Amino acid sequence: MGRSALLIGCNYPGTKAALQGCVNDVWDFKQTLMECMGFDEDNIAIMVDTDQEYPQPTGKNIRAYLNKMVDEAEDGDLLFLHYSGHGTQLPTDDPEEPDGKNECICPSDLDVISDNDLTKIFAPLSKKNVKLTFVADCCHSGTLLDHKEVIITGPKDNKRPPPQANARSMEALQAALGAGDDSRDIQIRSLPLEVYKELLSGKLGGVDFGDLPVSLIKGFGDESMERWARLFPVIADLQKRGQDTSKTLNTLRESAETLVGLKKAREPLNENVGILLSGCLERECAADVRRKNSVPHGAFSHAVNMLLRQMHKDGIIATNRSVNLGVRESLSKSGLKQSPCLEGSEKWADAAFVLCDEEGSI
**Residues catalogued as catalytic:** 86, 139
| Cα separation, 354 vs 166, whole angstroms | 21
Number of residues written out for the chain: 362
User: Do the beta carbons of residue 296 and residue 127 sit within 8 Å?
Assistant: no
DSSP 282-320: TTS--EEEE-TTS--EEHHHHHHHHHHHHHHHTTPPPBH
Bridging pattern class, strands 275-278 and 341-343:
antiparallel
Q: Give the closest residue to 142 by CA, choosing from 108, 104, 112, 106.
A: 104
Name, in order, each residue with C-beta under 8 angstroms of 149's C-beta and a sequence gap of 6 or more. Answer: 271, 343, 344, 345, 346
List residues bridging with 7 in a β-sheet.
Answer: 46, 82
Q: Give the closest residue to 331 by CA, choosing from 296, 297, 299.
A: 299
| Cα separation, 351 vs 318, whole angstroms | 8
| Cα separation, 256 vs 127, whole angstroms | 32
Phi, psi angle pair for 262, to nearest 5°: -70, -40
